[in-house]
Amino acid sequence: DLFSFSEKDSAKTVAHDYQLVESEEEIERLVSQLLHFSHIVFDTETTSTDVYSAELVGVSFCVKAHEAWYLPMPEQKEVCQKRLALLKPLLEDEKRLKIGQNLKYDISMLQQYGVSVNGPLFDTMIAHYLLEPELRHNMDYLAEAYLNYLTIPIEDLIGRGGTQKTMREVPVDKVVEYASEDADITFQLYQKLLPLLKENGVEKLFYDIEMPLVPVLAQMEANGVKIDNVGLQQISDEFGKEIQNIENQIYESAGMQFNIASPRQVGEVLFEKLKIDAKAKKTKTGQYATGEDVLQKLVDKHPIVKQVLDYR
């Protein structure tokens, strides 16, 4: 029936078991429990979306639908690294499948704290990108589209605008629900998207090209690019002098100064003051068209045309 629609599910309507895991003993117990699984979903909570300025706030895990664990991390980096070291058997193992949504971010984040993520990967965001390249790939959209589920909006935790908090300032009981849901929903999306990769004939592309590229890109971003600041400054200075020189030539050719970066003013100088083309066309906004295609045809009519093109 095209006219019937079902209510969307959410954390309020779906039974789930999300647990806070705080002490080192509890973490060790959880790790030994999760080591029995050939796959794990993990997700990081951080203070910002920029991996190189963000701090780790916590990590969540899931291995089956509607169950997840959230492990808050201490603010002090050395203490945090010590606690994260307890997770290395899970994350650094070469055989266990690591599932996540936008894994490159989580891998890069953990790398900042000395933890490598090894072994095979399954990124739900990239899987969906291969299936539906033109659609959105964020978790909120995927949860609604594939699971008929409304996720907890991040704004419910950190607020909006100028009063926005970081995840570090949110009460831990709220973060448990939010972070655990992220891991849980990612696992459910994995279950939905896995068969679709085969059905759509993109399995080979996903496993042989896209997934091996994720850690490579994370490493490239971490390494960065060396820049020759002195060389760039020299080029900048030379271009600056050249632009100044061409600017002066243009003013001389026009017999006046004007804003060369303004297409409207260029049009008025070329076609009203210098009358270079009597048949000059105007755009819908009523100003003269001065795009490159227009000016190239007029190069022989007046030196200023070539000068404006050189300036641009």
Q: Which residues contact 204 (CB under 8 A, 6 or more apart)?
A: none
Give the per-residue pLDDT at 4. Answer: 44
Residue 269 has pLDDT above 50, yes or no: yes
Give the per-residue pLDDT at 300. Answer: 95
How far is CA 107 from each of CA 156, 163, 179, rounded to the nearest angstrom? 26, 29, 17
**Cα 92 to Cα 40: distance, rounded to the nearest angstrom:** 12
Where residue 19 falls among pLDDT bands split at 50, 70, 90?
very high
Tokens of 17: 């078991």
Quickly tell me which residue has 């050249």 as its tokens: 242
Residue 128 has pLDDT above 60, yes or no: yes
Q: Give the rounded percent of residues in the chain with a pLDDT score beyond 90.
A: 86
Quickly tell me which residue has 């949504």 as its tokens: 101
Which contacts of 13-17 are long-range, i.e. CB under 8 A and separated by 24 or more positions?
A: 14/66, 14/149, 15/66, 16/66, 16/67, 16/68, 16/180, 16/181, 16/184, 17/66, 17/67, 17/68
**From 11-15, 17-21, 81-85, 131-135, the region with the lowest mean pLDDT:** 11-15
Residue 131 near residue 197 (C-beta atoms within 8 A): yes
Tally of CB atoms within 10 A around 211? 18
Convert the pLDDT of each residue in 182-220 to its tens digit.
Answer: 999 999 999 999 999 999 999 999 999 999 999 999 999
**Cα 235 to Cα 270: distance, rounded to the nearest angstrom:** 31
Where residue 2 falls among pLDDT bands split at 50, 70, 90?
very low
Convert the pLDDT of each residue in 279-300 to its tens digit.
Answer: 888 888 889 999 999 999 999 9
Picking from 220, 215, 211, 218, the residue whose alpha carbon sits closest to that of residue 124 is: 211
Convert the pLDDT of each residue in 156-182 to its tens digit.
Answer: 999 988 888 989 999 999 999 999 999
**Cα 296 to Cα 152: distance, rounded to the nearest angstrom:** 55
Cα 24-26-28 angle, rounded to 5 deg = 70
**From 7-16, 70-79, 207-216, 251-260, the region with the lowest mean pLDDT:** 7-16
Tally of CB atoms within 10 A around 224? 8
Give the per-residue pLDDT at 1. Answer: 42
**Cα 20 to Cα 26: distance, rounded to the nearest angstrom:** 9
pTM, rounded to two decimals: 0.74
